[in-house]
Amino acid sequence: MSEPGITAPDAGRGPTAEAAGGAAAEPRQEGSPDVRPPTMRPRRARASRAARPAPPASQPGLSEAPPAYDPDLERVEIEVLLEAVYRHYGFDFRSYAYASIRRRLWKRLQAEGLKTISALQALVMHSPEAMERLLLDLSVNVTSMFRDPGFYKAFRRDVIPLLRTYPFIRVWHAGCSTGEEVYSMAILLQEEGLYDRARIYATDINDVVLQKARTGIFPLERMQEYTENYIRAGGTRSFSEYYTAKYGGALFSPLLTRNVIFAQHNLVTDRSFSEFNVIFCRNVLIYFEKSLQNRVHSLFYDSLVTFGILALGSKESLRFSKYEPCYDRVHPSEKIYRKVK
């Protein structure tokens, strides 16, 4: 098994290649990604990673338009920028929540030392490196291990018994960011004796965060917080069994990712690539406008087997979606749903 952190950087490696590098080979009849790899490329080639400069630190407190900025002009400029990003790179942020996009654009604009949204547009159109920095800001990658411990506790209690009835479990983490959620669930499945029959697809729009996820290295200084989350989530062992201090961080056991396939996938523009027993999409839809949320719910509905589980973030729900009647609530407070028709 290859050591995390040493794997060659790999912008376009599809799940099949990933499987060859770590995950066990998967039977084709399970609807494997051989059918359609979820590795999605932006429309234009991106810059070589070696040449990419480190993103400038953003400056706190500056993520607002100057008071004199005309709000109508600002909106036009933002819409034109998002359209240009979509047409040139294929990343579609046009239906993301406006207030959040606006804040993030100003944050990036000021970090780049620019004065107008149009100037930011010109920069990202001509610089794939600037586009990567903007993508990191727009995609909001905040995450943590055993985030919302009550969710994991409920999952362990109410969903694991259902999963035990399946001989093979296909899991999709959509919008997995740097992978903390994926490693948390791998730990949980392992403790419940289900990991060996699981195949986990972990996808995100942003290839930079996926690269981090693949390394299995997380900040050592967050281990205390993660240990507390793990205990509150109902963990049954000592959390420190899962990692060693190495490469300047906490290196998690490669056994946790041997059945995981990390791949780029865009929930806005890409289709389903398989059928799943469980889909996690936590703290992603919150950034989307209602119309886009509905589109993604349609994608999830089509991608779930009957009686499959959909897990959303604490501030997300199926309410007002046309799919609401198709799911039962598995837990009264956690956003865990079961597709029933």
Ligand X SMILES: C[S@@+](CC[C@H](N)C(=O)[O-])C[C@H]1O[C@@H](n2cnc3c(N)ncnc32)[C@H](O)[C@@H]1O
In terms of CB distance, is 128 or 179 closer to ligand X? 179
Whose CA is closest to 213, among 221, 224, 203, 223?
203
The yes or no reply on residue 291 touching ligand X (CB under 6 A) is no
Burial zone of 209 (CB within 10 Å; 0-12 exposed, 13-18 middle, 19+ buried): buried
Identity of the residue, 65 or 252, whose beta carbon is nearer to ligand X in the bound complex: 252
- Report d(CA 339, CA 319) in Å as an integer: 14
| Among positions 266, 274, 294, 298, the unique one binding ligand X when judged by CB under 6 A | 266
Q: Does 140 bind ligand X (CB under 6 A)?
A: yes
Q: Are 124 and 131 in contact (CB under 8 A)?
A: yes
Q: What are phi and psi of 30, to 5 degrees?
A: -80, 5
Residue window 311-340: x/- pattern of binding to ligand X, with contact defined by CB under 6 A = --x---------------------------
* x-marked contacts with ligand X along 5-44 as a string, rule CB under 6 A: ----------------------------------------
Q: Binding residue for ligand X (CB under 6 A) from 18, 137, 181, 207? A: 181
Kindly indicate which of the ranges 27-35, 37-45, 117-125, 135-143 contains the residues binding ligand X, using the contact rule CB under 6 A: 135-143
Q: Which amino acid is present at 21? A: G
Shortest distance (Å) from residue 267 CB to ligand X: 4
Two tokens, residue 262: 């990390």
Among the listed residues 120, 200, 256, 268, the single contact to ligand X using CB under 6 A: 268
Is position 277 an interface residue for ligand X (rule: CB under 6 A)? Answer: no
Exactly one of 18, 204, 207, 334 binds ligand X (CB under 6 A); that residue is: 204
**Strands 276-281 and 169-174, bridge-based pairing:** parallel
Which of the stretches 23-31, 45-53, 162-170, 278-286 binds ligand X when contact is defined by CB under 6 A?
278-286
Does 229 bind ligand X (CB under 6 A)? Our answer is no
> By C-beta, is 65 or 286 nearer to ligand X?
286
Binds ligand X by CB under 6 A, chosen from 32, 121, 177, 321: 177
If binding is defined by CB under 6 A, does position 257 make contact with ligand X? no
The 141-160 site mask, x for binding ligand X (CB under 6 A), equals: xxx---x-------------
Interface region with ligand X, contact rule CB under 6 A, candidates 37-45, 105-113, 205-213, 271-279 = 205-213
| Distances from the Cα of 160 to the Cα of 189, 282, 285, angstroms | 8, 18, 24
Determine how many CB atoms are found less than 10 A away from the CB of residue 5: 14
Among 117, 131, 263, 267, binds ligand X (CB under 6 A): 267
Closest CB 214 distance from ligand X, rounded Å:
14
CA distance linking residue 262 with residue 195, whole number of Å = 16
Applying CB under 6 A, which residues contact ligand X? 139-143, 147, 175-177, 181, 204-206, 209, 266-268, 282-284, 313
